[in-house]
Chains A and B, each alone.
Chain A
């Protein structure tokens, strides 16, 4: 089935929860909704599920208007942030519950529950009660319940956010493989860019109830249409430095200037914001084009296999990603290198004016 959202608005009192949402979800497509907390992700999911009604606009399924049709009459399953299971039912009965309501034969239920449980590695826990499970196992049960019914629309609202990071890592990989085997439309919300990138498919970047940009995930990552998308779609946030272009030179920071080459060649004179993702700032120079910035260390944040070095330069905060684990003393002065070919450039309205060429990455 295909799903179209036409000019959806959701107002609660005077507050705008969603504004002018237009989306086209093709049959079998995967969509990740990326946005910070309160961006309107959950509101949109609830409308998709039929739990809420939009204030204006329509939801069309294969061209048929479904706005306001009860959730029970739609083919939809949803997984929530909290681990929601029936506390008095075993894992088996929890997973079987949507099928029992649909009046499916006993053998069929048994086979499908076991197959789905095996897919999520909880087939050895089918006799347990939810209270006897760890958080990860509880969420696996909730996911299995959503998957068992083969619905046309599968909604997941930050399903991994309450799990330990090791479990999150495992489940992410598994979910990605499970989604591939389904022909349902999958809509998955998250606040984490890394999760969105891993799940692939299409991305919808939301902020303050509006869609900022939608499209294939990799393309949006490499060509964010404006500065806010770049900010939301980078973790840690993308580094911004203000500057301007004058006399065929780009100027920024404390008297740093660059010739306009590569992706910067077409920039007209004016004020710009230069953006660079933290993995393109280095502690060592790697090419003759590199610019050196001297910055002082604020904190080394160690994340799994990388160190994020928060530094300050010219009253601006920058984050440098350094592979491996390294601690640096607070307040130490260090050189930071950046190759201008990695610059995103945004104009005064925040619109993308230039993005790094694909060639820039392979030059390294």
Chain B
């Protein structure tokens, strides 16, 4: 009697559990394993408890990398979200312009990450790059522009690369959000005599909240995990100026082969990303909700 055919649906979900177990849970447990032991070789490991965690949490180079990481990801959100919204608002609503602008926006998203690095390195080179040669010929800077020359130059190049690469994603998401607003809202706003700013503030922005949540989360997580671009550009330099968390982690794990601390570091890193994603998610979900009486 109690056997209901829908129970069979669980079997269909089983493969997903298997895949997730192999792709996420088992590797993660390996990392956990490394983070609490000192492993000298196969069968030769010593339990160290929280030692690696303590070491990493008090590591000043990690603190510096974390600081850089926050500034970088913060700047990414501050530039890409408003810029993406502006691009989405400026995009045509109908006609051939729609497909043209969609394709143009999609191009940066389709380029592999190492190619992006190469493109920008060449683009900004002071000897042959269009940008590098161009800016130097203007003689505005006290030193010739070279992304390896100064931390600020490296940051500017990196930021330009990041913005160029990922703002289209934000713009596309916002555009989709804008297109989903029924025409009646704009008509009602016209009849209510609303200004363009009011239309943005009270119709477009609230209606884009869902897609903006996704955009902020994606850009936050992705920029917090950035590795390829600084690696390709300067490998973390000049000095340590673009050594972000993942670059430092890779140096630690594969450069110095400190597997224990690196594993502890990975877990801390993972938890930070998780924590901030959760905070953003909650914050954006609650914007404009509830009955806060002004």
A residues bordering B, Cβ < 8 Å?
53, 67-68, 70
State A70–B5 Cα separation when bound (angstroms): 7
Instruction: Let me know if B13 is at the binding interface, CB within 8 A.
Output: no
B 1-29 to A, binary, CB cutoff 8 A, 1 in contact else 0 = 10011000000000000000000000000
Contacts between chains A and B (CB distance < 8 A), count: 5
B9 to chain A, nearest CB (A): 13
Residues of B within 8 A of A70 (CB): 5
Of chain B, the residue at the smallest CB distance from A65 is B1
Residues of A within 8 A of B4 (CB): 53, 68
Residues of A within 8 A of B5 (CB): 70
Of chain B, the residue at the smallest CB distance from A71 is B5
B4 to chain A, nearest CB (A): 6
- SS of B interface (majority): loop
A50 to chain B, nearest CB (A): 10
Size band of the B side of the interface? Answer: under 10
State A68–B1 Cα separation when bound (angstroms): 7
State A31–B217 Cα separation when bound (angstroms): 54
Of chain A, the residue at the smallest CB distance from B5 is A70
| Cross-chain pairs A/B with CB under 8 angstroms, 5 sampled | A53-B4, A67-B1, A68-B1, A68-B4, A70-B5
Residues of B within 8 A of A68 (CB): 1, 4
Of chain A, the residue at the smallest CB distance from B2 is A68
State A89–B75 Cα separation when bound (angstroms): 51
Residues of A within 8 A of B1 (CB): 67-68
State A170–B5 Cα separation when bound (angstroms): 40
State A124–B170 Cα separation when bound (angstroms): 48
Residues of B within 8 A of A53 (CB): 4
State A67–B5 Cα separation when bound (angstroms): 12
Of chain B, the residue at the smallest CB distance from A69 is B5
Residues of B within 8 A of A67 (CB): 1
B124 to chain A, nearest CB (A): 51
State A68–B2 Cα separation when bound (angstroms): 8
State A67–B1 Cα separation when bound (angstroms): 8
B7 to chain A, nearest CB (A): 12
State A53–B5 Cα separation when bound (angstroms): 11
Q: What 5 A-B pairs are tightest by C-beta distance, nearest first? A: A70-B5, A68-B4, A53-B4, A68-B1, A67-B1
Of chain B, the residue at the smallest CB distance from A58 is B1
State A53–B1 Cα separation when bound (angstroms): 11
State A53–B7 Cα separation when bound (angstroms): 13
A12 to chain B, nearest CB (A): 16
Of chain B, the residue at the smallest CB distance from A73 is B5
B 24-63 to A, binary, CB cutoff 8 A, 1 in contact else 0 = 0000000000000000000000000000000000000000
State A70–B4 Cα separation when bound (angstroms): 8
State A205–B5 Cα separation when bound (angstroms): 32
B45 to chain A, nearest CB (A): 51
State A70–B1 Cα separation when bound (angstroms): 12
A203 to chain B, nearest CB (A): 32
B5 to chain A, nearest CB (A): 5
State A68–B5 Cα separation when bound (angstroms): 9
B 82-106 to A, binary, CB cutoff 8 A, 1 in contact else 0 = 0000000000000000000000000
State A68–B4 Cα separation when bound (angstroms): 7
State A67–B4 Cα separation when bound (angstroms): 10
A197 to chain B, nearest CB (A): 38
A225 to chain B, nearest CB (A): 35
B 146-178 to A, binary, CB cutoff 8 A, 1 in contact else 0 = 000000000000000000000000000000000
State A68–B6 Cα separation when bound (angstroms): 11
Of chain A, the residue at the smallest CB distance from B3 is A68
B138 to chain A, nearest CB (A): 58
State A67–B3 Cα separation when bound (angstroms): 11
B11 to chain A, nearest CB (A): 16
State A53–B4 Cα separation when bound (angstroms): 9
Of chain A, the residue at the smallest CB distance from B1 is A68
Of chain B, the residue at the smallest CB distance from A72 is B5
A231 to chain B, nearest CB (A): 36
A52 to chain B, nearest CB (A): 10
A56 to chain B, nearest CB (A): 12
A57 to chain B, nearest CB (A): 12
A54 to chain B, nearest CB (A): 12
B228 to chain A, nearest CB (A): 42
B156 to chain A, nearest CB (A): 51
B26 to chain A, nearest CB (A): 37
B162 to chain A, nearest CB (A): 41
B6 to chain A, nearest CB (A): 9
Of chain B, the residue at the smallest CB distance from A53 is B4
State A14–B194 Cα separation when bound (angstroms): 47
State A281–B4 Cα separation when bound (angstroms): 55
State A68–B3 Cα separation when bound (angstroms): 8
State A21–B4 Cα separation when bound (angstroms): 22
